[in-house]
Amino acid sequence: MKIFALILIIISLPSFAEIDLVKVDKSENKMYLLENSKVIKEYHVAFGGSPKGHKEQEGDQKTPEGLYTLDYKKENSSFYRAMHVSYPNQTDLDNAKSKGVSAGGFIMVHGQKNRLGWLSGITQRFNWTNGCIALTNSEMDEFMALVKVGTKIQIEW
């Protein structure tokens, strides 16, 4: 009986985790959920069509790089569930303004396009978003359960 209880605790461990950082490595198409610098969960993710480099303007197909905050959850989206990344920050806005362009925005961690989740085995092999960070729908459910609003997200190449 004790072994069974121990197995249940080990299997359930991520749900008890206090994720304090989401780290995204664009060069590897990976996202890591960390608790006290320890990786609790790893995901393969998809980005926009031109993922290398920092997002500088709307429509550039890039995911921003730097430290941001996951600042709210969105359940009524064109994609299966989503959590918003706090891009653009003031530096991003100033940079875009100096170039005479819009910084863009509405960068999210999200699931698959609504009604197309069954294609995730194919879509997640490619960078297909407009600059967001995409997971499968089941991974998005897990992400939303583990990551609280206010958690920092570090995105780098």
- Residue whose pair of structure tokens reads 């299966």 in the numeric block: 80
**Active site (annotated) includes residue 110:** yes
Which bin fits 118, alpha (ψ -120 to 50), beta or left (φ > 0)? Answer: alpha
The amino acid that residue 99 corresponds to is K
Q: What is the CA radius of gyration of the chain?
A: 16
If you search the block for the tokens 């008890």, which residue do you land on?
Answer: 16
Cβ(127)–Cβ(46) below 8 Å? yes
User: Tokens for 129?
Assistant: 């978003």
CB 33 within 8 A of CB 17: yes
Which segments of the chain are extended strands (E)?
Answer: 21-25, 30-35, 38-44, 66-74, 82-85, 108-110, 133-134, 152-156
Q: Which of 44, 54, 84, 132 is catalytic?
A: 132
Is there a catalytic annotation at residue 84? no
Which one from 44, 54, 84, 110 is the annotated catalytic residue? Answer: 110
Question: Which residues are annotated as catalytic?
Answer: 110, 132
